[in-house]
Amino acid sequence: MSTYSAESIKVLKGLEGVRKRPAMYVQGGTGIDGYHQLLTEIIDNAIDEALAGYADEVWVTLNADGSATVRDNGRGIPVEVMKKEGRPAIEVIFTELHAGGKFDNSSYKVSGGLHGVGSSVVNALSTFLVAEVAVDGKLHRIRFDRGEVTEAVHVVGSTPKSVHGSTVTFQPDPTVFKEVESFDYQRIKRRLRELAFLTGGVKITLVDERGDEQRHEVFMERGGLGAFAAYLAKDNKLLYDKPVFIHATTSVETEGVSHDIEVEVGLIHTTGYGQNVLTYANMITNRDGGTQLTGFKTAYTRVLNNYAKAKNLLKKGDPAPTGDDFLEGISCVVSVKLPDPQFESQAKVKLLNPEAQTAVQSVVYEKFAEVLEENPRVGKAIIEKAANAARAREAARKARDLVRRANPLENDDLPGKLADCQSQDPSVSEIYIVEGDSAGGSAKQGRERRFQAILPLRGKILNVEKANIGRILKNAEIRAMIAAIGAGIEGTGDDAHFNIEDVRYHRIIIMTDADVDGSHIRTLLLTFFYRYMRPLIDAGYLYIAQPPLFGVRFGRSRELQYVFDEGDLQRLLKANASRKPEIQRFKGLGEMNPEQLWETTMNPETRVLRRVTIEDVLEASETFEMLMGTEVPPRREFIEDNAHRAQLDL
C-alpha cells in the first residue's frame, strides 16, 4: 500500500509539471502545432504496433464533440498489474512520465513518439482520456480526467476472441490550448497519407464526424516510397514512367556496436527544374535533412557520375554536372529507420546519427547503380537532363556576370570601345551601333557628344541562331552591346532578366553599310535583339539608320545632294538630264567624312531613321534562314533575284 501511494504522489507531481509547463513537454507548445502533436503521439503508438507486425489497420476519428479517437487492431495496451508498481500497466503508461523504457522490450521503436512518454503527456493535457483494450475476449476500459484516474481499469464487456486492439479517445484541454478551436482535417489527412506511404501496406482510415456530412478517407499504399515519389510528382510531366525504389536493411557498426538500419528511397524525375526531396528518420519528417540526406546525395551523385563516364554520356567540352544538376526535376523521398535517433533540436528538423549516413550511402551506392544498369533509358534520361542543367547553370552564371557588369552606375565596366554620351538621361540619349572601326571613327568625330554615343563593332557579329548561349555570351561584340545598353538580357532560361527600365538609351540605332555585308550584319543584330532584348523592340527603342548610297553634284552648283537608293538616283538624274551630274557612290560609311556622316545619317534634323518593328525582324530572320539554312533552291532564287544589286556593290 505504501509503495502505491508514494508512486501516486510522484505521478501527480509529474503530470502537474506537464500541465504547468506544457511547452516543455510538447513539441509545438500550446498552439495549433502542439494541439496536433497530441494526436500524433497517439497515432504513432498505433503505427508502432503496426510496424512491429501486430496490427495492419489504424483508424482515426475526429468526433463531433471535438475529441479524437485512435484505434488499432494490435495486441492491446498491456492491462495486467505490474508487480513492481502494484498498478496496471495501462495506468502507468498514461500517468508516468518516463514509462516508456520499462516496457520497451523490442530493440527500438520507429515511430516519432517516445513510447509511453507521449501517452502520459497527452493524458495530462486532456480534459478526459478513455482507453479501451480488447484482448482475450474481454473489453477493458480506463478513464482519466485532467490526467487523474477517474475510472480504474475494469472489464466492460466481452468480445469475440479474434477481436483485439487498442482504442484511445481524448479531448485536448481548452484551458491549456487556449487559442486552438479544433483539429485540422487537411493537416491530419496529409500526415496520414504520408504515414501510409512510409509504412507501406498499413490501412489507415480517417473519419470526420464533426460537420453535417461525415468525411471518410482511406490511405493504403503498397508501392512504398517509389509510389510516394510518384505522388509528389503527380502534377508534372515525368522524364521516365516508373519511379526508382530502393529498400534494404544494413548493419552498421559504430564503436563496436552494430545497428540494423533500414533504408528506403523512392525517386522519380520530372521535366521541371525544381527539387522536391523529403527526408525522414523513424517516420518523423526532418525538414532540414541531416545525415541520411548527406548519405543519399553523396552516393547518388557518385553513381550518376560513374554511370555517365562508363556509358560515355557526356559530351566533350560540356561543363561537368554537379550534384545539384543531377537533382534538377527530382521528386525524392529518403527514409531511414534506426535505433536511438538523435536530432539537432526538439523540433527534430535534422538527423544527426552518423551511422544513418553510412547506411544510406552504402545502400544507395550499390542499389542505385544496379537500377541504372537494369534501366539504361532511365540512366540516359537523368544524365541528359543533368547535362542540360549544367549548361544552363553555366550560361546563367555568365549572364548574371554580364548583367552585373552592365550596371550603369559602374561606368568602369562600360566597354572600352564605347564613346559614351554626356547625358545620363535615357530619354534623350542615343547610341549608334556602327559597323566597322573606320565608320566608328567618323561617327565619333561627327556626333553630337552631348546625347549621342557610338559603339563600333568589328566585323560580323556572331549568329545567335546557331550558337549556344555560352558561346553567345563569350562573344566580345555581344558583351559590349549588353554592357552598353545596361539592362541585361532575357531568354537564357535561368534568372537573367532584361529590364527595360535600365536601358541607358531610348534610341538604339543600328548603322551598317548600305551593301550586302551591311544588310547581313544588320540581320545578325536584329536577330540578337529579337532573341535577347525583345522588349527594346516592343518599346520602339530600336532603329535602323539610313545612310545615303550616293552623293550627286550638278554642274557648277557645289551643293551635294544625298540619294538613298537606286530608284531615287534615276529620278533625280531624269529631273536634271540637262545638267552634268557628278555622282559619288558611298561604298561604306567609312568613306564619308565626319561632317557628311553627321549631315546625312546622324543629324536629328535631317537624318532618316527607320523604327524597327517585329515584322522587320521576322522578315530579316526569314531572309537570314534562307541565306544560311540548308535549303539550296530558295538561296539560288534569292541570289538570282538580287544579282543586279550585287553588281552595284562591286
Closer Cβ to ligand 1YM, 151 or 401, answer by number? 151
- Residue 41 binds ligand 1YM (CB under 6 A): no
- Residue 42 binds ligand 1YM (CB under 6 A): yes
In the numeric block, the cell 496496471 is attached to: 88
- Residue 115 binds ligand 1YM (CB under 6 A): yes
How do 126-135 and 165-172 pair as beta strands?
Answer: antiparallel
What are the CA-CA distances from residue 89 to residues 99, 100, 154 (Å)?
A: 9, 11, 13
Which grid coordinates belong to 343?
A: 536530432
CA distance 559 to 561: 6
One-character DSSP codes across 61-119: EE-TTS-EEEEE-SS----SEETTTTEEHHHHHHH-TT-HHHH--SS---SSS-TTHHH
Looking at 98-106, 370-378, 383-391, 407-415, which segment touches ligand 1YM (CB under 6 A)?
98-106
Where would I find the beta strands (DSSP E) of 240-357?
Answer: 244-254, 257-269, 276-281, 284-285, 330-337
Closest approach of Cβ 113 to ligand 1YM, in Å? 9
- Residue 106 binds ligand 1YM (CB under 6 A): yes
> Binding residue for ligand 1YM (CB under 6 A) from 2, 5, 83, 105?
105
Helix axis angle, 476-485 relative to 516-532, nearest 10°? 60
How do 542-545 and 507-511 pair as beta strands?
Answer: parallel
Determine the size of the site formed for ligand 1YM (CB under 6 A).
21
Closest approach of Cβ 99 to ligand 1YM, in Å? 6
One-character DSSP codes across 432-495: EEEESHHHHHHHHHHS-TTTEEEEEE-SPPP-TTTS-HHHHHH-HHHHHHHHHH-SB---SSSS
| 299 and 247 Cβ atoms separated by less than 8 Å | no
Closest approach of Cβ 120 to ligand 1YM, in Å? 10
CA distance 10 to 296: 46
| 167 and 70 Cβ atoms separated by less than 8 Å | yes
Closer Cβ to ligand 1YM, 46 or 238, answer by number? 46
- Residue 107 binds ligand 1YM (CB under 6 A): no
| 385 and 269 Cβ atoms separated by less than 8 Å | yes
Closer Cβ to ligand 1YM, 26 or 592, answer by number? 26
> Binding residue for ligand 1YM (CB under 6 A) from 39, 68, 77, 314?
77
> Binding residue for ligand 1YM (CB under 6 A) from 15, 38, 70, 278?
70
Catalytic residue among 91, 420, 515, 599: 515
Closest approach of Cβ 327 to ligand 1YM, in Å? 38
> Binding residue for ligand 1YM (CB under 6 A) from 34, 112, 116, 321?
116
- Residue 79 binds ligand 1YM (CB under 6 A): no
Closest approach of Cβ 64 to ligand 1YM, in Å? 19
Closer Cβ to ligand 1YM, 103 or 240, answer by number? 103
Please choose, from the candidates 587, 468, 472, 604, the residue with its C-alpha nearest in 3D space to the C-alpha of residue 545: 604
Enumerate residues 6+ apart whose C-beta is below 8 A from 186: none
Question: Is 517 a residue of the active site?
Answer: yes
Closest approach of Cβ 172 to ligand 1YM, in Å? 16
> Binding residue for ligand 1YM (CB under 6 A) from 46, 360, 364, 514?
46
- Residue 227 binds ligand 1YM (CB under 6 A): no
Catalytic residue among 148, 517, 616, 625: 517
Site for ligand 1YM in 541-560 (CB under 6 A): none
CA distance 9 to 514: 102
> Binding residue for ligand 1YM (CB under 6 A) from 17, 78, 339, 594?
78
Please choose, from the candidates 382, 329, 330, 338, the residue with its C-alpha nearest in 3D space to the C-alpha of residue 357: 338
> Binding residue for ligand 1YM (CB under 6 A) from 41, 49, 264, 430?
49
Closest approach of Cβ 92 to ligand 1YM, in Å? 8
Looking at 70-78, 202-210, 418-426, 618-626, which segment touches ligand 1YM (CB under 6 A)?
70-78
Closer Cβ to ligand 1YM, 125 or 402, answer by number? 125
- Residue 330 binds ligand 1YM (CB under 6 A): no
H-run or E-run covering 195: helix 185-199
CA distance 49 to 56: 9
Which grid coordinates belong to 129?
A: 482520456
Closest approach of Cβ 85 to ligand 1YM, in Å? 12
Looking at 102-110, 146-154, 221-229, 284-292, which segment touches ligand 1YM (CB under 6 A)?
102-110
> Binding residue for ligand 1YM (CB under 6 A) from 93, 356, 485, 525?
93
Catalytic residue among 72, 328, 477, 513: 513
Question: Is 435 a residue of the active site?
Answer: yes
Closer Cβ to ligand 1YM, 91 or 394, answer by number? 91
> Binding residue for ligand 1YM (CB under 6 A) from 45, 111, 301, 357?
45
| 503 and 486 Cβ atoms separated by less than 8 Å | yes
Nearest position to ligand 1YM, beta carbon? 103
What are the CA-CA distances from residue 109 to residues 221, 407, 637 (Å)?
A: 21, 58, 81
Looking at 44-52, 146-154, 419-427, 571-579, which segment touches ligand 1YM (CB under 6 A)?
44-52
Question: Is 515 a residue of the active site?
Answer: yes
Site string for ligand 1YM, 156-175 (x = CB under 6 A): ----------x-x-------
| 27 and 153 Cβ atoms separated by less than 8 Å | no
Catalytic residue among 325, 435, 477, 599: 435
Closest approach of Cβ 59 to ligand 1YM, in Å? 9
> What DSSP character marks residue 31?
S
> Binding residue for ligand 1YM (CB under 6 A) from 27, 31, 75, 445?
75
Enumerate residues 6+ apart whose C-beta is below 8 A from 477: 457, 458, 459, 461, 462
CA distance 319 to 392: 10
| 111 and 93 Cβ atoms separated by less than 8 Å | no
Closer Cβ to ligand 1YM, 101 or 274, answer by number? 101
One-character DSSP codes across 482-538: HHHH-SB---SSSS--B-GGG-S-SEEEEE--SSHHHHHHHHHHHHHHHHH-HHHHH
Closer Cβ to ligand 1YM, 105 or 312, answer by number? 105
List residues with catalytic annotation: 435, 513, 515, 517
Give the interface with ligand 1YM as residue ranges (CB under 6 A): 42, 45-46, 49, 70-72, 74-75, 77-78, 89, 93, 103-106, 115-116, 166, 168
